[in-house]
Amino acid sequence: MTYDEFNQFCSELPATTHVVQWRGAHVWKIGGKVFAIGAQGPEGLPAVTFKASGLNFEFLSDHEGYRPAPYFASRGMKWIQQPDGNAAYDEELRYYLRESYRIVASGLSKTKQRALGVFQVSASDVRG
């Protein structure tokens, strides 16, 4: 996944913000909380880092094409990195980025979720 593809995908998720920080990393947030980072990886290739569920972290830690995120995982956080921008992983990477977004957004207060318009459920959805 290129930086442009990464940024385009993340920009399409509701209520996200983008900043460039940490030596040029493309940092995507929901409600002020980071859910994805695109930065230069080994050999100058795009590396995408994202938060993972416990189960996905365990699976991806040993899965070809992924690794525990160097800074985050060494501090006990469940973050994974796809380190080489390999297009073969793009489809599943989009899934994991959506999951990271969901995990981080669900950790926001209900008030903040409402203010951002995420996880809105109508009465008809509940009765459905």
- Label residue 8 exposed, middle or buried (CB < 10 Å: 0-12, 13-18, 19+): exposed
Residue 25: the pLDDT is 92
Q: What does the domain layout of the chain look like in residue ranges?
A: 3-127
Give 56-81 pLDDT, tens digit per residue. Answer: 999 999 999 999 998 887 788 899 99
Residue 22: the pLDDT is 81
Indicate the class that CATH gives domain 3-127.
Answer: alpha beta
User: Residue 120 pLDDT more than 60?
Assistant: no
Residue 127: the pLDDT is 41
Q: For 18-43, what is the mean pLDDT?
A: 91
Q: Is the whole-model pTM more than 0.85?
A: yes
Which of 71, 91, 67, 99 lies closest to 81 in space, CA to CA? 67
